[in-house]
Each structure stands twice: as C-alpha cells, then as structure tokens.
A and B are shown apart, each in its own frame.
Chain A
Amino acid sequence: MFRKLHDAGVNGVTIYIDDAPIAAEAGESIAAVLLRQEEIWSRTTPATQAKRAPYCMMGVCFDCLAEVDGVASVQTCLTTVRDGMRVARQRGKRSLISKGSLIGKRSLGA
C-alpha cells in the first residue's frame, strides 16, 4: 500500500471504487488511488482469475485495467480522476455490454 505525502486540500475530489466513496486529488491517476487502498488490486485475469494490481504506471503492462464509468478495460494509470467517477474492479474478460447498459452484463455470455 502507498500513502500520500501531502493533503489534497482544495484539490480534493471523491470517486467511488466498488461503490465505496474514496478521497482523491484532482490530477492524479485512478491507479494511484487504487494503490492507496487496503486492497490494491484492480482486476482479475481472464486466464486464471488471478488478482493483478498496477505494475508499470506508464501504460505498457495493462494490469491496471478496471471498469470506469461503465466502460471496461480502461487503463487506470493513464486516466485521471474526476469528481464522482465510478470505478469497479474488473473480474475476468471485458464483456461486450457494460454493467450500466440495459441488456445487462452477463446476457451475451463471457
């Protein structure tokens, strides 16, 4: 787990990770926020459902993928936080239809 050296102060925003409100700072990446949580993992792998967490922080490993505002497989190290953003840890493969859609996540099969 990581900790911030400073207080976000006026730059503070709130994002939601798996529906829990989390304090973040404008301008930082979602992956940085994930790494400050008790559970730092961002996704499970399609092949063996092993947990993965941000590893490279520069967009070349794809282990920090998560669902962001209903869009699956977002590289969270390249995406900066926005107030009210909803992040869901991603389990397995991305599905064609996101959780937020009318058809529902599982109906097209994994």
Chain B
Amino acid sequence: MSKVDLLVVGAGPAGMAAAVTARRFGLDVLVVDDQPAPGGQIWRAVETVAASARGVILGDAYRDGKSAAEAFRASAAVYQPGSQLWQIEPGFRAFVTRDGKARSIEASAVILATGAQERPVPFPGWTLPGVLTVGAAQILLKSAGQVPAKPFWLAGSGPLALLYLTQLLRAGGQIAGYLDTTPPRRLGAALPHLPRALRAAGDLAKGLGWMMALRRRGVRIVKHVVDVEAIGSDKIEAIRYRTTGGEQRTVAAEILLVHEGIVPNIHASLALGCNVQWRDDQDCYVPILDPWGESSQANVFVAGDAAGIAGAKAAVIGGELAALRIAMKLKRAGEAKAIAAAKPLRHRLARERALRPFLEAMFRPRRQIFAPSDDTIVCRCEEVTARDIRAMAAIGRPGPNQVKAFTRAGMGPCQGRQCGYTVTHILAEAENRPAADVGFYRVRPPLKPVTLGELASLDQLETTP
C-alpha cells in the first residue's frame, strides 16, 4: 500500500494538467490510467505519433498534446499506465489492478479525470462485427496508423464525425458515404447561440472547413437520415437506411462507423456517491461541482470531460483549477495566491465553453436513438432487447435497478456503460416521466472486472511487510 497527497485518475488533458499543477505546489501525486501512454483519447499515442507523417494527418489540435505530455513527464508525478481502477473507498483508499496484480493506494484528495465515452447508439445490428464507433476508428488511426481497407459508411452526427472523415481523406482512405443523422432545422435551433459561439470563432471556422472539405472532395452525403440498420449474420454485409423524406435504401457495407456525440464517464463519480444532475442539453448526467470542480463529496474533484463535455482546452483548465484548490486545502498554497491564480483560468474557461451551447443545439441527437425498435439489443453484454425492457415497464413502474435485477441488463462486464442511458430513456418514455426522474443504475464495485487471482494478490501485498 502506498500513500500520496493526490490521486489523479486518468492521464488525458485534465489529468496531466492537474498533476503538473499539483507538483508545482510540491504535492505527492500518483496518476493511474488504463491506457499504455499518456494523452487520453484525444491525444492517444501523441508522444510517438505527433512528429510522424500521421501527426500531419491528425492535425494541429492533436499535435498540441505533445507539449502537454512532455510537461507531464517532466513534472515527476508518479505515473502508472496500464492500471485499472476498480474501487475507491471514502477516506480515500483506491484499488487498482496492473499487470494482473491488485494494490491499494491511500490519498488525501482525488481528482477524477476519467474523460468521456461515445454515446451508445442502439439500432438493429449494432453488435455485428464491422460496426464500430467513429471514436474507435480514430483511435485506430492514431495508435495503429490504420484505416478501413475498403470504402466505408459513416452514420452519425457531430464534430467528431466530420473531423474523422477529414482526417481519413488526408490519410488516403475512401468513403462510401456519410449518412448524416442531424435532424432537419437544427441550424435554426442553434442560431440564437451564434453570437456567443463567435467568441470561439476559430473553432467554429474549423468545423465549417471540415464540411467544405467533404463537399469539395465529392463525398456522398445523405442528409436527414433517421433510421439505420446493419444487416448480416456473422458480420455486417449491408446497411438499410431511411431519411425523414421517406427515401429508403439498402447498400452493401463491410465497415459501418457510428457516432452521436459523447457523454461524460461518470461511473467513478457515481461509485463515490457524488451527487449528479441531469443535463437536458447534453442528454446525460453530470456531477454537481463547485467552481473549483469539487463534488458533493469533500476532497473528490472531477475535471475535464468527466465533469461535462467541453473539450480538451477546457479540460486542461479544469484540471489546473482542481489542483489549485487541493493545494490550498492541503495548506501548500496560500489562499490569496490560489484565488488570484484561478481568476484568469476561469476567464479562459468561459471562452472555451462559449461554443458549447451552439454545438449542443446543432447536434443534439435524434430522438430515435433513445427509442430503439423492440428487436434492438439494448444491453450488448447480456443481449437484452428493448422489448424485454418495455415488458418490465408494463408490469410496474420500475427504475433502472429493478430492470437490471429482472433482465440482467447492465450486469455484464461493461457495467451498464453501453446500455445505461438507453434503459433510462426507454423507462422514461414508457412511464411518461422525465429521464431526470428515472435515474441511472446504482454503480457498485468493482468498476472494472477483477479476478479472484488479482484479489488474492492484494491480500498478499497487504499482509507481507
């Protein structure tokens, strides 16, 4: 067992920035992360890839990560990659598995910088081999330098979809077509947020540039796609899609990438009992935080996209603010100095967040993904369908935890990361109450699967001096 001032969970933009700031105030910092190298998902493999030809394909926002990773390495924070966190007890005692061995860590404060995951998009056939998320394809480009071997289809909406398509064209990949699922008249809904979004005009222009690049290259774009289905027995063979205009087509496909935005990873926050609130504009739960990022649990902070989606630049600032406050609370930083240091950070944070309301209105996911057809698998792990969930809703007024007990939805290894929000939405619709009222699965340890062997290794470490 080891003891540190600060445990940071996650080595993405927020986690790295938090560690660097905390080290500046002389705190003992341990950073655990499940990936093999620092950078999080946005800067995956950035240390080795930024300077290569692939770095040019991925663009400047990606290459920015290199200096962040260098500062993190230079900070002398203890960094343990390849580590899976599976439990945090109040006080704090965290349990982590690395290389098949478990260990516990005591910490005075915790920063959860666990990032985001792509919003689960259930539709018939989404479990077939060959259906991947856009984020998965982008990770393959970053970390393995690989692209779909043949022209592929992308169905979805949002900035990441456009960014990936642009990167893929730069890499010499081929696109069969982009099924744009952004509903009609979204620009009208987003326009009222435009004046504020202009504070982040650079990012706005970048997004428009991606769209223009796709048009210039003659990429086939089908607008207002409302239903998508993957067809095949052992793997995807075809896609059937339908537009709001009633156009319906079936096309051959070997790879289908899907994307409907990202949501915060809140499993660790929930497990620690941090209060969360429903965000209607982001269709997800976010932890309730004070202006420093401290949650309802004293000395538990949440920073970066895990606190609500705002992107990498905002994540860096969130990490810095949380570390400042912890340095203040542990009496390593003077209060006046820390408050003064936070002021310009908050100013920059407001600017970084200026584009969000526009993006959220523009790319709010179509309602269909929250109301999958009866035959659609909702829980990928236990293969529970939307019909099974609705049957439960019909016999009572269950919440997600009753549905979990009755159907096993959410009981598999992913612990509800792929079905949680769908179950919440299906129950909300069936029981005619808001999603905020339905709630989410109760998250229990272990947060990630842990073997008996790993638990036994923990016992040995604890008892032998």
A residues with a Cβ closer than 8 A to B are 1-6, 25, 27-29, 32, 35-36, 40-41, 45, 47-48, 50-63, 65, 71, 73, 77-78, 80
- Among the listed A2, A57, A60, which residue makes an inter-chain contact with B147, where contact means beta carbons less than 8 Å apart? A2
Cβ of B82 and Cβ of A78 under 8 Å apart? yes
Cβ of A2 and Cβ of B140 under 8 Å apart? yes
B residues with a Cβ closer than 8 A to A are 34-36, 41, 45, 48, 53-54, 82, 100, 117-118, 127, 129-133, 135-137, 139-140, 143-150, 171-172, 234-235, 254-255, 265, 380-383, 412-414, 417-418, 448-449
If A4-B146, A5-B171, A47-B382 touch, whether A52 touches B100 (CB-CB below 8 Å) is no
A40: chain B residues at CB < 8 Å are 129-130, 235
Write the nearest CB–CB distance from A56 to chain B, whole angstroms.
Answer: 5
Cβ of A56 and Cβ of B145 under 8 Å apart? no
Cβ of B380 and Cβ of A1 under 8 Å apart? no
Cβ of A47 and Cβ of B140 under 8 Å apart? no
**Complexed CA–CA distance, A73 and B148 (Å):** 26
If A5-B171, A54-B132 touch, whether A41 touches B235 (CB-CB below 8 Å) is yes
Cβ of A5 and Cβ of B147 under 8 Å apart? yes
Cβ of A25 and Cβ of B144 under 8 Å apart? yes
Write the nearest CB–CB distance from B15 to chain A, whole angstroms.
Answer: 15
Most chain B CB within a 10 A radius of its CB, from A3, A53, A60: A60
Cβ of B45 and Cβ of A27 under 8 Å apart? yes
B149: chain A residues at CB < 8 Å are 1-3, 36
Minimum-distance CB pairs A-B, first 5? A53-B129, A57-B136, A32-B144, A3-B149, A62-B413
Cβ of B418 and Cβ of A28 under 8 Å apart? no
Write the nearest CB–CB distance from A55 to chain B, whole angstroms.
Answer: 6
Residue of A nearest to B448 (CB): A59
If A59-B34, A61-B418 touch, whether A1 touches B143 (CB-CB below 8 Å) is no
A55: chain B residues at CB < 8 Å are 127, 131-133, 136, 380
If A5-B54, A51-B235 touch, whether A61 touches B414 (CB-CB below 8 Å) is yes
Cβ of B127 and Cβ of A58 under 8 Å apart? no
**Complexed CA–CA distance, A29 and B144 (Å):** 8
Write the nearest CB–CB distance from B409 to chain A, whole angstroms.
Answer: 12
Cβ of A41 and Cβ of B146 under 8 Å apart? no
Cβ of B127 and Cβ of A50 under 8 Å apart? yes
If A32-B140, A40-B129 touch, whether A45 touches B383 (CB-CB below 8 Å) is yes
Cβ of B417 and Cβ of A60 under 8 Å apart? yes
Cβ of B54 and Cβ of A41 under 8 Å apart? no
Q: List 5 A-B contacts (CB under 8 A).
A: A6-B54, A45-B383, A55-B380, A56-B133, A59-B448
**Complexed CA–CA distance, A25 and B49 (Å):** 14
Cβ of A41 and Cβ of B129 under 8 Å apart? yes
Residue of B nearest to A32 (CB): B144
Cβ of A62 and Cβ of B414 under 8 Å apart? yes
If A28-B143, A47-B383, A50-B127 touch, whether A61 touches B235 (CB-CB below 8 Å) is no
Residue of B nearest to A2 (CB): B146
**Complexed CA–CA distance, A9 and B1 (Å):** 42
Cβ of A56 and Cβ of B234 under 8 Å apart? no
Cβ of B380 and Cβ of A63 under 8 Å apart? yes
If A2-B149, A41-B129, A61-B380 touch, whether A78 touches B254 (CB-CB below 8 Å) is no
Residue of A nearest to B129 (CB): A53
If A2-B146, A29-B144, A73-B413 touch, whether A57 touches B139 (CB-CB below 8 Å) is yes
**Complexed CA–CA distance, A33 and B137 (Å):** 13
Cβ of B117 and Cβ of A36 under 8 Å apart? no
**Complexed CA–CA distance, A2 and B137 (Å):** 9
- Among the listed A29, A48, A78, which residue makes an inter-chain contact with B383, where contact means beta carbons less than 8 Å apart? A48
Cβ of B140 and Cβ of A35 under 8 Å apart? yes
A27-B36, A41-B129 known, 16 other contacts, Cβ within 8 Å: A2-B140, A3-B148, A28-B143, A47-B382, A53-B130, A55-B380, A56-B118, A59-B34, A60-B414, A60-B417, A62-B412, A62-B413, A62-B414, A62-B449, A71-B100, A78-B34
Cβ of B383 and Cβ of A1 under 8 Å apart? no
Cβ of B148 and Cβ of A2 under 8 Å apart? yes
Residue of A nearest to B452 (CB): A96
Write the nearest CB–CB distance from A73 to chain B, whole angstroms.
Answer: 7
B381: chain A residues at CB < 8 Å are 45, 62
A2: chain B residues at CB < 8 Å are 140, 146-149, 255
Most chain B CB within a 10 A radius of its CB, from A47, A50, A61: A61
Cβ of B132 and Cβ of A1 under 8 Å apart? no
**Complexed CA–CA distance, A56 and B259 (Å):** 11
Most chain B CB within a 10 A radius of its CB, from A5, A27, A80: A5
B414: chain A residues at CB < 8 Å are 60-62
